Amino acid sequence: MDDNSQTKRTYAFERRLLVLYDVVIIGAGISGTMCAYMLAKYDLSVAVLEAGEDIAAGSTRANSAIVHAGYDAKEGTLKALLNVRGCEMMEGIAKSLDVHYKRCGSLVVGFSSKDREHIELLKRRGETNGVKELRIIEADELHSMEPYVSKEATCALLAPTAGIVCPYDLAFAVSENAVTNGARFHFDFKVDRIEKTDNGFAVSAGEKTIKGKYVLNCAGLYCDEVASLAGDPLPFEIIPRRGEYMLLDKAESFIASRTLFVTPSEKGKGILVSPTADGNIIVGPNANIVEEKSDTSVTYEGLDEIAEGARLITPDINLKANITSFAGVRPTPSSGDFYIQPSSKIDGLIHVAGIESPGLASSPAIGEYVVEILKKCGLKMKKRKNYIKTRSRTGNYKLFCDMTNEERAEAIEKNPAYAKMICRCENITEGDILNAIHRPIPAHTVDMVKRRTRSGMGRCQGGFCRTRVADIISRELDIPLSEIRKFTKNSKILYGKTK
Ligand SMILES: Cc1cc2nc3c(=O)[nH]c(=O)nc-3n(C[C@H](O)[C@H](O)[C@H](O)COP(=O)(O)OP(=O)(O)OC[C@H]3O[C@@H](n4cnc5c(N)ncnc54)[C@H](O)[C@@H]3O)c2cc1C
C-alpha cells in the first residue's frame, strides 16, 4: 500500500473512532511541521490540524528564506538561542530530506563610520550568542567576494554559517517525513473550539473533533486567537507586519552570491539582496504594520521602497528582470521574543507563539525545544522502531532537473513520464508532477504542484505549463478539468468550453 492510500484509510478510520492522539498540533507552518518531524522520531501518535488546504499556508510561504547565522537577536533571548542552534541543524536536515538549501554565507554591508560601529556591535552580539567564524572585512575583500556591491561600501560583517533554504520545500519535507513515520495531517481544519477533557483536549473545527493529550499552539499570526480559544490569552500582542518582495529571473543571479544586507540605519531599513536556494535573486522586504493579518497585497510604494534599498547595496541591479512580486506578513510579538512555553493555566497546552524572523532559521531548534518541554510536562517518549529518515518509504523526491545524467537515464527507464518536459522554464517533467500528485501529502491543485515541483515558478510564471499541469491533475485524480483549481476554493482555472 502506498503512503497516500494509507493516509486516506487512516482518515476514514479516525472519523469513526475519534482516536486520542498523544500530541495535537494546531498549524502546519514551519513551527508546527518541524514539531511534528521531531516528535515523529518517537513512538507517539501525532495529528497536525491546519486551517488551510496545504502545508505552509501562512508566513512560512512568503519570507526572505534566509537561514540567519544568529547575530541579530539580542543576547540572552530565546530567539538568540534557537537561531544559532537552528542554523547549525539546518544543513543536516536538508541533506537527509533532499531540501533545497545552500550555506552561502551573509554580509551586512556598511557605508559609514556609524554603520561600522553597528557592524562591530553585531559581531560582538553574534559571538556572545555563539555564532562561529564571524569576521569584519574591509572594502577590498568585500568587492573581491561580491563585485556588484556598491563601490561606496567600506566594510561588512561576514557570517559564513548563514544559508538560504526553500521554506515551503523544507516544510513539505519535514511533513512528509512525519507522515511516513505515522503523523496525520488534517487540512481545512480551522480550529474554532478547544475544550479541556478528563484525559486531554477536544479540538474542533465545526462538526469535526480531534482529541489529544497535549496541544501545541503553532498558529503563527493567529496564535493569539488560538490561545484565547483555549482559555489562556497570550500576555502580549501579535502585530501583523507586512514585507514585500521582488523575485528576479535566474539570469540575474550573478549580482550576489551571498545574502547582502544593508546595515540598518537612516539610509535603509534592512532590505536585502540575496540568491535563493532555487537560483533566483530575491529583493526585499520592507516592514509595514497592516490592519488585516491576511493582507498580503503588494503596493507601488512598497516596490519603490525595496527597489531603492536594493540599488543602495547593488547599484547595477536590473529590477526589470522582476518575474513576480509577493508579500508575507510577520507575526511580530509586542514582547520582542519567541514565546515557547507551557501554559501556566491549562495543563497540556504549549504555546509556540510570536515566531517572527528568524523563525524559519530557528525552526529545527524550535522543534527540538518543544520535544524537551513535552518531556518535562510528563509525555513519555520512546524512540520509534524502524524510524524512516528520508521523506518516504520509497525514497527521496529529487526533481529531474536536480538529477545527474545517470539518474535521469534511470528515471526515464523506470517511468517514461520523466522524458516529457512540462515546465520549460524550470525544467520540470511530467514524472516530477506525477510524483507531487502521489506524495504522502498529495497535491490536488495547480499551486500545490507548483510549490512541490517549481512548475510555473520560472520566467513565464506558468503561462506555458499551468493548463498542462491542470490536465495531468484531472487525469490522475479523475477530477473534471473544469473543477481543477489554482489554489483556493474560488480559483477555478477553466469556466467552460469556448468551442
Ligand atoms: C516578510 C517576512 C520575512 C521573513 N524572513 C525570514 C527569514 O529570512 N528567515 C527566517 O528565519 N524567518 C523569516 N521570517 C519569519 C518566518 O517566516 C516565520 O517565523 C515562520 O514562517 C513562522 O512559522 P509558523 O509556523 O510559526 O507560522 P505560519 O507559517 O504562519 O503557520 C501557522 C499556520 O497555522 C495555521 N492556522 C492559523 N490559525 C489556525 C486555526 N485556528 N486552526 C488551524 N490552523 C490555523 C495557518 O493557516 C498557518 O498555516 C520572515 C517572515 C516574513 C513575513
pLDDT for 464-476, tens place per residue? Answer: 899 999 999 999 9
Q: Is the pLDDT of residue 13 over 60?
A: no
Q: Is the pLDDT of residue 15 over 60?
A: no
Residues 6 or more apart in contact with residue 304 via CB below 8 angstroms: none
pLDDT score of 293: 97
Task: Tell me if 497 is assigned to some domain.
Answer: no
User: Taking CA 388 as the corner, what is the angle to CA 386 and CA 392, rounded to the nearest 5 degrees?
Assistant: 135
Q: Give the C-alpha distances (Å, rounded to integers) separating 165 from 30, 32, 325, 357, 382.
A: 12, 18, 19, 14, 31
List, in sequence order, every residue forming a beta bridge with 26; answer none if it has no partner: 49, 217
Q: Is the pLDDT of residue 342 over 80?
A: yes
Compute, in angstroms, the gap from residue 354 CA to the centroid of ligand 1.
9
| Distance, CA of 304 to CA of 161 (rounded, Å) | 31
Compute, in angstroms, the gap from residue 26 CA to the centroid of ligand 1.
12
pLDDT score of 493: 84
pLDDT score of 494: 82
Statement to judge: residues 393 and 294 lie in one domain: no
Statement to judge: residues 315 and 417 lie in one domain: no
Among 339, 332, 334, residue whose Cα is nearest residue 357: 332
Q: Is the pLDDT of residue 58 over 50?
A: yes
Among candidate residues 68, 100, 118, 444, the one labeled active-site is 68
Mean pLDDT of 118-123: 96
CB contact at 8 A, 463 and 473: no
Statement to judge: residues 376 and 248 lie in one domain: no
Compute, in angstroms, the gap from residue 172 CA to the centroid of ligand 1.
14
Q: Is the pLDDT of residue 331 over 90?
A: yes
pLDDT score of 1: 41
Minimum CA distance residue for ligand 1 atom 1:
243
Minimum CA distance residue for ligand 1 atom 37:
219
Pocket test of ligand 1: the residue of 38, 63, 259, 332 to mutate, having most ligand atoms within 8 Å of its CB, is 63
Using the atom order of ligand 1, give the atom closest to the CA of residue 229. 41
Q: Computed from CA positions of residues 315, 320, 326, 327, in that sequence, does the dihedral angle turn out positive or negative?
A: positive
| Distance, CA of 326 to CA of 457 (rounded, Å) | 13
Compute, in angstroms, the gap from residue 60 CA to the centroid of ligand 1.
4
pLDDT score of 491: 85
Mean pLDDT over the full length of the chain: 93
Q: Is the pLDDT of residue 268 over 50?
A: no
Using the atom order of ligand 1, give the atom closest to the CA of residue 355. 19
What pLDDT band is residue 397 in, cutting at 50, 70 and 90? confident
What pLDDT band is residue 5 in, cutting at 50, 70 and 90? low
Compute, in angstroms, the gap from residue 29 CA to the centroid of ligand 1.
6
Could you read off the pLDDT of 287-299 as tens digits, one per residue? Answer: 999 999 999 999 9
Domain termination site, one of 305, 330, 355 = 330
Using the atom order of ligand 1, give the atom closest to the CA of residue 27. 34
Task: Tell me if 321 is assigned to some domain.
Answer: yes
Cα Rg for the chain, rounded, in angstroms?
23
Pocket test of ligand 1: the residue of 175, 339, 357 to mutate, having most ligand atoms within 8 Å of its CB, is 357
Using the atom order of ligand 1, give the atom closest to the CA of residue 34. 25
Statement to judge: residues 287 and 367 lie in one domain: no
CB contact at 8 A, 48 and 32: yes
Could you read off the pLDDT of 443-464 as tens digits, one per residue? Answer: 999 999 999 999 999 989 988 8
C-alpha torsion 257→164→68→355, nearest 10 = 150
CB contact at 8 A, 470 and 422: no
Q: Is the pLDDT of residue 496 over 80?
A: no
| Distance, CA of 282 to CA of 290 (rounded, Å) | 22
Q: What is the CATH number of the domain that holds 8?
A: 3.50.50.60
Residues 6 or more apart in contact with residue 367 via CB below 8 angstroms: 31, 34, 35, 37, 38, 39, 174
pLDDT score of 185: 97
Task: Tell me if 474 is assigned to some domain.
Answer: yes
pLDDT score of 224: 98
**Ligand 1 pocket at CB < 6 A:** 26-32, 49-52, 57-60, 63-66, 68, 189-191, 218-222, 226, 243, 285, 328-330, 355-361
Q: Is the pLDDT of residue 334 over 70?
A: yes
Q: Work out the number of other CB atoms within 10 angstroms of the CB of residue 493.
A: 16
Q: Give the C-alpha distances (Å, rounded to integers) separating 94 from 98, 160, 200, 390, 427.
A: 6, 17, 34, 10, 22
Statement to judge: residues 300 and 435 lie in one domain: no
What pLDDT band is residue 394 in, cutting at 50, 70 and 90? confident
pLDDT score of 492: 86
pLDDT score of 14: 53
Statement to judge: residues 52 and 136 lie in one domain: no
Compute, in angstroms, the gap from residue 329 CA to the centroid of ligand 1.
8
Pocket test of ligand 1: the residue of 24, 60, 88 to mutate, having most ligand atoms within 8 Å of its CB, is 60
Domain termination site, one of 330, 347, 376 = 330
- Full residue range of the structural domain in which residue 423 is found: 400-483
Q: What percent of the chain has pLDDT over 70?
A: 95
Predicted TM-score (pTM) of this structure: 0.94
| Distance, CA of 475 to CA of 470 (rounded, Å) | 9
Residue 68 is among the residues annotated as catalytic for this protein = yes
Pocket test of ligand 1: the residue of 37, 53, 64 to mutate, having most ligand atoms within 8 Å of its CB, is 64
Structural domains in the chain (count): 3
Compute, in angstroms, the gap from residue 430 CA to the centroid of ligand 1.
31
Q: Is the pLDDT of residue 393 over 80?
A: no
Statement to judge: residues 254 and 317 lie in one domain: yes
Q: Work out the number of other CB atoms within 10 angstroms of the CB of residue 91.
A: 18
Task: Tell me if 97 is assigned to some domain.
Answer: yes
Mean pLDDT of 367-379: 98
Lowest-confidence region among 137-151, 160-174, 338-352, 395-409: 395-409
